[in-house]
Amino acid sequence: MTIVRLGYVAMSVELQNCSPSQTMTYKQFMGIKDREAAISKLERIAVSNLENCLRLLKHNKANDIAFFRLSSRLIPLANHEELGDWRYMRALSKPLKAIEEYLQENPMRIDFHPDHFVLLNTTKKEILNNSIKTLAMHHALLKGMGVDPRHRCVLHVGGAYEDKEKALEQFIHNWALIPQVLQSMVMLENDDTTFTLNDTLYLCEKIGIPLVFDYHHHLANFEKEEWETEWERIVGTWADSSLPVKMHISSPRSEKEFRAHADHIDPQMFLDFLHKIHGSIPEIHCMIEAKRKDEALFRLMDNLKETGEIEQIDQASFRI
């Protein structure tokens, strides 16, 4: 048997007024004549985002959800080129400490998925430097929450730049320029348009980091359909991690919009995957990437219970 734990992304549709991604544009920032007042407003927004994160973690605990992806937009304008002198972590110590204390009492797996502009295979020095700065911000947040940063940030491989093989080698070249403390945070996932499961496995095995298998992405973008033949290799990339294997699950919005994520998860599509991997690993954590967030998780659990094919553990996990 395999234990399956479900998680969801960034925010709840069940909780009201609990966004962890409140923001402020640079234009709005510049509209405040007093720079110190503008920075104070940025800090208030970031503190509010972190306080809402804590509310979300408490919501998750109440519903047995022990796996959660934090928003990567917790600190608006954190890496803006005109705000290089802003030492935002000082203002966030108190709400970060509150999260740390809560996680110490209520352990759960949390991680990040930095935005698409984090490109580690870019050929442009400025983009690479900004990507490193963004990873450093995520590292600081994790440390501030008392979370071991190892294997906590999922990234896509990046752009193909009209030559996919060269783009893969560029990733390996740039990898040597990434500080080791940031390298240790990174996991890679196969994407739905360019870098297939086999492409991503090549990189993960080459540089020794985990692969997060995105089942929906694979169905949309593959070189060979039988992903099962590579499952042992996927699991092998997690050999040096203290965390269970992680994967992403979503469902197509429609046949016409196959790559777009649906509001909820197709339970049969998920079961098709689980039946093929159950027993191969003791535990797997499945991140639900659905538009309806935690509602999608609750509905999926209800649908799975109705099939009679799972043994429920709690409100967000089961054995199969």
Domain-by-domain residue ranges, the chain? 3-13+110-319
Residues 138 and 132: beta-carbon distance below 8 Å? no
Inter-CA distances, 219 with 190, 229, 234, Å: 11, 15, 16
Rounded to an integer, what distance in angstroms lies between the CA atom of residue 181 and that of residue 105? 26
pLDDT on residue 79: 86
CA dist 141 and 138 (Å) reads 5
Q: What is the DSSP string of 65-103?
A: --EEEPPS-SSTTTT-GGGTT--HHHHTHHHHHHHHHHH
Token readout for 280 is 């191969």
99 vs 60: CA distance, rounded Å: 13
Which backbone phi and psi does 288 adopt, to 5 degrees? -80, 120
Please give the DSSP secondary-structure letter assigned to residue 114: -
Is residue 6 within 8 Å of residue 297, measured between CB atoms? yes
Give the list of residues 6+ apart from residue 170 with CB closer than 8 angstroms, or none. Answer: 121, 122, 123, 161
Q: Per-residue pLDDT for the chain (320 aa), expressed as one digit of tens each?
A: 999 999 999 999 999 999 999 999 999 988 998 999 999 999 999 999 999 999 999 999 999 999 999 999 999 999 888 888 889 999 999 999 999 999 999 999 999 999 888 999 999 999 999 999 999 999 999 999 999 999 999 999 999 988 999 999 999 999 999 999 999 999 999 999 999 999 999 999 999 999 999 999 999 999 877 899 999 999 999 999 999 999 999 999 998 999 999 999 999 999 999 999 999 999 999 999 999 999 999 999 999 999 999 999 999 999 99
Q: What is the pTM of this model?
A: 0.95
Give the model's pLDDT for residue 240: 96
Instruction: Return the CATH number of the domain spanning residue range 3-13+110-319.
Output: 3.20.20.150
Quote the pLDDT of residue 171.
98
